[in-house]
Amino acid sequence: MMRRLAALLLLLVLTACGVQAAGNDPPAPPPAQPAAEVAAAPSMAPAQIATVPGATPSLATATATVEPAPVLTRLTEPGCCVQPMWSPDGRMVLFIDRPDATAPTGIYGVSVEGGPVQLITERVAKTSPDGRYIVYLNESAQVVVEDLQTGEVWLIPSDRREPHFSPNSQRLVWTAETGSGAFSQRPSIVSVSEVNGQNAREVITVYGGGFVGWLDDDRMLVQGRIEESNGVLAEEALYAIDLLSGDMDQLAVSDRLRSVQPAPGGEWVFYAIAFDTDDPTRNGMWVVRADGSERHKLDVVGAAQWQDGSRLLIIPMEPGAPSHRVLRFDAETGEMEAITDPAQTPFRILSGDWQVSPTGEHIVFVSAEDLSLWVMTLPGADR
Amino acid sequence: MLALLLALVAMAAITTRHAAAQGPTDPPPPPEEPIYGLPFAEPPGPDTWNVTQWYGNTRFAYLMRRTFYGNGQGLHFGLDLGAPCGTEVIAIGDGIVTKIDAMEHGSGPHNLMIDHPEGYSSFYGHLLEPPRLYIGQEVHRGDVIALTGDPDLTCDSRPHLHLEIRNHWYNYAYNPVEFIDADWDSLALFGPRSSFSRDLDNPRRWVTPYDQPMTDFGGELLNNYLNAWPPDYSR
């Protein structure tokens, strides 16, 4: 049973991106075993949340408007782990660790409910969303994809660039930056292939950019400057490209585009712009519909991740505040609400290290207070 | 003229004192509490500045460990703060200007070194123009000392300030986060996400902005990992 669990979770590791000097015949995942027993996992359940009448609270003073209040649960011992990830079902927090000198390095996991930390697998690899494939460098430093069901291994013609799986795990994309000089002027070729490396083709050449995300299985986001017909480089922009039709929609324009994140399902896209001196009104955080038909500028700056297909969670940057807090912006309604009240649910995230679960029910973060992993259970995830 | 003479005398006194207090092999330890301020007067934000690359074993430094950062043990030996070209840079502490456009320290097109009486030096790189200061000039915390620029000379490529803290022999670099009084965990919430390279043989080491090693310029690479995470696909 535990062996199956370990194999399943290996298959489901989502966002990591590499492998431990892997060869073509990796050892089978070891049986999961208790690693570091976590002390009692305390929870903080805020007694009551203040409610602010009206739909648009001042972000500087907003208090929570959602009940029940989020619950915080400590999952691990201090100092064990950073860069937490989620199992695709959102029930387990995963992280790379080596608890002590006698323990193996591997992916460890702990239930979102708390409990013992378990070694899931010693194989650290970037895995496809469906868990069937892993990508790594083989012993000859070639990029390969391995089918974990059949054992087949395919060379990927990405010329030693990191490939990214499409949401349905059937395509790969990579960006090959070439040339030298100013980063904003370097040509980058974005290419795609089937998951087995077949049918590789170039999609577009941009300058100072590259692939930044999948909207869905057939549409991708690319950022950079394109060469106009007169040979002049256009201003940097964000494009949605349809791989089937070749259609390209321009979603945003600025030389200072950053932090692009498509929402699950590909209906909305988050991006930020900083230091655009040509048009300072562009500076800030934005949400745009993926066809460019609708756009919102957010009245806040901070770290943002999608909770679901249209709701964005934001940790505002408020230096000096005793606690961080969570806001939620609904792209469909244009409304912002506070999810936590610092007086009721105090927390601080270490250096922006947080992840929203795939189900949108939880946030895991590294606490700046005790360097442990904590989980925040969010209200209103299931609307 | 008198001011220049006095400044030269002051600088010579400081240099002598520091030379007596420390040698190339024994840089002073970092302070127990931050003793300096931020190099910008304005609050952070999309119009002003934000953290773009931490000091230390960053992912980018790991990938560039044999090139950009080869002389710095593979570490990003400063703190990068993105800012529009022309943003005013202020001194992080009281001190004496000791170097202007010292290209042996890199960070062109222009740079500035200030020695502080606590035994440390601050180095400001990728400046827009030569600082309008002179060697030996006394500066005070908060004084405007320079303007930010872009190492690619375009002002739309990667305009930022590269800030280093060194010892007075300039052969060691410290983690500026340990020296500058700021709410770093909140500053980390806007801008590129923090990313450090990990050694899968020792995955807990050097993975946050706070636990980074000092840089011994010319020393051996600290992050030439056999098993890195994420892997270096270009190796």
CATH code of A76's domain: 2.130.10.10
Q: Rounded to a whole number, what is the distance in Å from the CA of B3 to chain A's nearest CA?
A: 38
Q: What is the DSSP letter of B157?
A: S
In a domain, A43, yes or no: no
pTM: 0.86
pLDDT at B25: 63
In a domain, A40, yes or no: no
Summarised one tens digit per residue, pLDDT across range A220-231 is: 999 999 998 888
Over chain A, what is the mean pLDDT?
Answer: 84
Summarised one tens digit per residue, pLDDT across range A110-159 is: 999 999 999 999 999 999 988 899 999 998 889 999 999 999 999 999 99
Angle at B63 between CA A127 and CA A209, to 5 degrees: 75
Q: How far apart are CA A107 and CA A18, in angstroms?
A: 12
Summarised one tens digit per residue, pLDDT across range A305-352 is: 999 999 999 999 999 999 999 999 999 999 999 999 999 999 999 999
pLDDT over threshold 60, residue A19: no
**Average of per-residue pLDDT across B195-213:** 96
User: Is the bond preceding residue A68 a cis peptide, omega within 30 degrees?
Assistant: yes
pLDDT at A66: 58
In a domain, A77, yes or no: yes
User: Is the bond preceding residue A70 a cis peptide, omega within 30 degrees?
Assistant: no
In a domain, A290, yes or no: yes
Q: Rounded to a whole number, what is the distance in Å from the CA of B153 to chain A's nearest CA?
A: 8
Q: What is the DSSP letter of B61?
A: H
Over chain B, what is the mean pLDDT?
Answer: 90
Q: How far apart are CA B225 and CA B74, in angstroms?
A: 11
B67 touches chain A (CB under 8 A): no
- Candidates B159, B186, B203; nearest CB to A105: B203
Reported residue count of chain B is 235
pLDDT at A371: 95
Q: How far apart are CA B50 and CA B24, in angstroms?
A: 33
The residue in chain B having the minimum alpha-carbon distance to the alpha carbon of residue A82 is B207
Task: Give the model's confidence band at B192: pLDDT under 50 very low, under 70 low, under 90 confident, else very high.
Answer: confident
Residue B87 neighbours by CB under 8 Å, 6+ apart? B40, B42, B48, B49, B147, B148, B161
Percent of chain A at pLDDT exceeding 70:
81
In a domain, A382, yes or no: no
In a domain, A332, yes or no: yes
Burial of A1 (0-12, 13-18, 19+ CB in 10 A): exposed
Could you tell me the CA-to-CA distances from A270 to A288, A323, A329, B56 in Å, in that order?
A: 7, 25, 11, 29
Residue A92 neighbours by CB under 8 Å, 6+ apart? A9, A86, A109, A110, A111, A112
**Average of per-residue pLDDT across A104-111:** 97
Residue A77 neighbours by CB under 8 Å, 6+ apart? A36, A38, A39, A372
- Candidates A18, A97, A320; nearest CB to B231: A18
Task: Give the model's confidence band at A181: pLDDT under 50 very low, under 70 low, under 90 confident, else very high.
Answer: confident
Task: Give the model's confidence band at B196: pLDDT under 50 very low, under 70 low, under 90 confident, else very high.
Answer: very high
Window 6-35 of B: residues touching A by CB (8 A cutoff) are none
**Average of per-residue pLDDT across B7-34:** 61
pLDDT over threshold 70, residue B22: no
In a domain, A221, yes or no: yes
- Respond yes or no on whether ipTM tops 0.85: yes
Chain A contacts of B209, Cβ < 8 Å?
351
Task: Give the model's confidence band at B191: pLDDT under 50 very low, under 70 low, under 90 confident, else very high.
Answer: confident
Task: Give the model's confidence band at B23: pLDDT under 50 very low, under 70 low, under 90 confident, else very high.
Answer: low
Under a CB-based contact definition with an 8 Å cutoff, are residues B78 and B163 in contact? yes
Task: Give the model's confidence band at B80: pLDDT under 50 very low, under 70 low, under 90 confident, else very high.
Answer: very high
Please judge whether B200 and A105 are an interchain contact, meaning their C-beta atoms are less than 8 angstroms apart.
Answer: yes
pLDDT at A293: 96
Give how many domains chain A has, as a whole number. Answer: 1
Summarised one tens digit per residue, pLDDT across range A31-64 is: 333 333 333 334 443 322 222 223 333 444 445 5
A20 touches chain B (CB under 8 A): yes
Q: How far apart are CA B71 and CA B170, in angstroms?
A: 13
Token digits of residue B54: 């931490």
By mean pLDDT, which of A88-92, A365-369, B169-173, B189-193 is the weakest? B189-193
In a domain, A31, yes or no: no
Reported residue count of chain A is 383
**Average of per-residue pLDDT across B162-189:** 98
Domain that holds residue A262: 2-24+54-377
Q: How far apart are CA B57 and CA B71, in angstroms?
A: 14
**Average of per-residue pLDDT across B151-159:** 91
pLDDT at A61: 42
The residue in chain B having the minimum alpha-carbon distance to the alpha carbon of residue A162 is B233
A144 touches chain B (CB under 8 A): no
Q: How far apart are CA B59 and CA B38, in angstroms?
A: 24
